[in-house]
Amino acid sequence: MRCIRVRSLRAEALSALAVVVSAIPLGAQEPPDTVLVGDSLATSVLGAIDSSRVADTLIVEDSVSADTIFYNLPRPKNSEPASFATGVWEWDRADIMADGANNLAELFHALPGVIALLGGDYGTPSSVTAFGLGGGGYRILRDGLEVYAAEGSVPNLQLIGLAGISRVRLDRSMGQMLIEMWSHEYEDGRPFSIIEAGTGDLDTNLFRGTYADPVALGGSVAIGLERMDTRGRGGEGTEAGNRTGSWARYQVHVGDRFGVALDYRGFSTQTKVPEYTPVTKRSDFSARAAYQPVEGLTLSAFAGRSTYGIDAAADSLLILDGSRSQFGGSLGVERGMFWLRSSYRSFEGSLPSGRIEARSGLSHHRWGGLSGSWSSNKWNDVEVSSFGARAWLKPTTFTTMFASYEDGSYGSRVGVLSGGIPSLDQNGPVKEPTASIAARTGGRAGVVIGLGGAALGGAALYGSADRVLPLGLELDDGAIAEAGLERNGYEGIVVLPIFLRGLNLEGSYQFWDEEAPYQPRQIYRGSFQFHRVFLESGNLELWASLGVRGHDPMLTFVKDSEIGEGSLARVPFYQSWYMQAQVRIVTVRLWFGMDNMTLRRNLQMYPDRLLPYGRSFFALRWDLWN
């Protein structure tokens, strides 16, 4: 194993950052009234089994009370609880910082059965998949507005930033995954900042910062910046790339019952990889209003416009772009155990042209719950719809039985945002976006048993589709849809406390009787996880993990021009050992991580698009008050 060298420039940068942190008065590092420490897989699994068990969550009391009034826009908050049984995972701000993820693909790829589809290092396109979902396999909602795909059928995750994001939720449904993101919400009346800075191998550098003032300019103001850059694994910077994003929000509040928010997010990626567009840009501007006339009833209206642009070639000054608008509203109801979410969206400029959906359910912390969802979309003159249902029951305090079912048709767009951008390899007339529709059915049923901090769960899986659609990103531009399959499988999870307090062995495994595109026969995750809070004040905390992520060889869609007939190619099996550790002192976090510790040189999700063969990374992350 080669020695990992850190250049003196990086060491000097980290030393300077450490000096800055040490110079900050402790009063500026005071936590809010409640600091929630991120949950591990253990707490998310066990939380669905025994609600009387207190999760491994730190509550730090703050002796300094806020001296100003602060407000947030009202929003409904009840839905299916996060757990393996419901197929839902959630991260709050502390979880994201503890994970060390720099984008959504990195945040999700540790979950059972989820695979990050990466075209290379930072700056190249990326996506995620689960249950073999390709085109139309996931949607993203941010603060209630849809972050629709600018190119192809799913959003490019390299253009989705985490600056200013305080909560992320992934619903890993078998028909179509739903990703929800929420921007910063005020917990205190004082100004608040988050600073994250790091450096690592391959000349990798990170900065992510957020500043939020709950009382400014007659309302509240928040801004955020982020940048990730690397020279990549290619020699002489031939695969260098970066991601750069910004965020600004202004809100006007009329108490806790009504508010209006103006929000802007801009993001761009650059890469020197010849297969991809040198520069890609996306910006999203939105306005939304939320009103809560009575407790448990939330009404909102929103409008947004997205703009997408690319530099056509490295030697060209031509910049091509397109734009799209959305309008709509939503309704949220919460009454005791009952909750309801419904929304309507009208899209202008591309496909789909409209969407109406509703989710509703009953949730109880002791006996479980049930929920249902329905959605209808319009693709050209074709209406497609889908529905799903799930239930999770707790006959005993240590047992949860669960089942879910999804069925319907799902649309996928082939082409760019508004039809105004030709593909880079086209010399002919511009093609208008077209729609592909796939019918998918999925089912899942199983049980989780937890006792004394240990958990063991398993589920039988069933999935079928009439066709599997490519993503439509640059990763597989021009690929042709493949015939679908009917498949059966199972998945399991284990959480096992071992000899040392705070140390768990955690793992997951998923098996299918037949492979399919984006669906290897076996997917596995395993790790040792350590998490402890020290000192009576709770001001010293340690996270550490050592684990492996892997899967069997996988069929993946590729650009049709690269392989001649057909659109599928097989990539070798994937296996990456990793480790990471984080120490929190009051609110300052020192983070260290290593990926691909065994230096495997053929890690890839797409043929000949090799991933970095090893990277160590150091970072400082801290919260500042006042």
Classify residue 83: in a domain, yes or no: yes
Least reliable range by pLDDT among 187-191, 422-426, 452-456, 458-462: 422-426
HEC per residue, 173-222: CCCCEEEEEEECCCCCCCCEEEEEEEEECCCEEEEEEEEEEEEECCEEEE
Please state the rounded mean pLDDT for residues 582-586: 94
pLDDT at 381 exceeding the cut of 70: yes
Least confident of 347-351, 484-488, 495-499, 500-504: 347-351
Closest CA to 281 of 326, 325, 246: 246
Q: What's the half-sphere exposure (Cβ side, CA atoms, 13 Å) at 37? A: 25
Q: What CATH number does residue 540 fall under?
A: 2.40.170.20
CA dist 56 and 35 (Å) reads 12
Tokens of 23: 């110079």
Evaluate if residue 2 carries a pLDDT over 80: no
Least confident of 242-251, 350-359, 408-417: 408-417
Q: What is the pLDDT confidence band of residue 57, given thresholds at 50, 70 and 90?
A: very low
d(CA 461, CA 482): 21
* Average pLDDT score over residue span 594-608: 91
Rounded CA-CA distance 208/198 in Å is: 9
Would you say residue 318 lies in a domain?
Answer: yes
Coil, strand, or helix at residue 549? strand
Q: How confident is the model at residue 329 (pLDDT cuts 50, 70, 90)?
A: very high
CA distance 292 to 303: 19
User: What is the structure's pLDDT at 22?
Assistant: 39
Decide the pairing of beta strands 540-551 and 319-335.
unpaired
**Residue 267: predicted pLDDT:** 95
477 in a domain, yes or no? yes
- More confident: 444 or 426: 444
Query: For 197-214, what is the mean pLDDT?
Result: 94
Q: Whole domain around residue 241: which residue ranges?
A: 8-421+432-625
Q: Give the span between the Cα atoms of 394 and 391, in whole angstroms.
A: 10
> Does 2 reside within a domain?
no
Q: Name the 3-class secondary structure at 169.
A: strand
Cα-trace Rg, the chain = 23
Q: Can you tell me the distance from the alpha carbon of 191 to that of 280, in angstroms, rounded to the nearest whole number?
A: 33
Residue 1 lies in a domain: no
Query: How far apart, in whole angstroms, are the C-alpha atoms of residue 451 and residue 505?
Result: 15
Q: Kindly report the average pLDDT of the chain as a whole number.
A: 84
Alpha-carbon distance of 282 to 276, in angstroms, equals 16
Tell me if 331 is assigned to some domain: yes
Mean pLDDT to the nearest integer, 252-280: 92
Which amino acid is present at 302? F
pLDDT at site 346: 92
Q: Is 363 domain-assigned?
A: yes
The amino acid at 568: L
Instruction: Name the least confident of 356-360, 379-383, 548-552.
Output: 379-383
Residue 503 CA, distance from chain mean position? 26
Between 207 and 37, the more confident residue is 207
So what's the pLDDT on residue 4?
38
Q: How confident is the model at residue 44 (pLDDT cuts 50, 70, 90)?
A: low
Angle CA 347–352–358, to nearest 5: 80
Of 417 and 333, more confident = 333
Percent of the chain at pLDDT exceeding 70: 83
Residues 184, 187, 189, 193, Cα dihedral to 10°: -50
- 478 confidence band (pLDDT: 50, 70, 90): confident
Neighbours of 537 (CB within 10 A): 10
Report which of residues 13 and 517 the model is more confident about. 517
Q: What is the pLDDT of residue 255?
A: 86
Residue 117: half-sphere exposure toward Cβ, Cα within 13 Å: 33
Q: What is the pLDDT of residue 417?
A: 60
Measure the CA angle with vertex 261, ends 259 and 267; round to 5°: 160
Q: How many CB atoms lie within 10 A of CB 274?
A: 9
Domain count, the chain: 1
277-314, pLDDT tens digit by residue?
Answer: 899 999 999 999 999 999 999 999 999 999 988 875 54
Quick check: helix, strand or coil at residue 477?
A: coil
End-to-end CA distance of the chain: 46
User: Band of the pLDDT at 416, cuts 50, 70, 90?
Assistant: low
pLDDT of residue 566: 61
Amino acid letter for position 170: L
Do β-strands 354-364 and 338-348 pair in parallel, antiparallel, or remain unpaired? antiparallel
Indicate whether 397 belongs to any domain: yes
The reported pLDDT for the residue numbered 561 is 56
Q: Are 374 and 385 in contact (CB under 8 A)?
A: yes
> Mean pLDDT, to the nearest integer, of 13-19?
39
CA distances from 283 to 162, 218, 404 (A): 14, 26, 36
Helix (H, G, I), strand (E, B) or coil at 57: coil
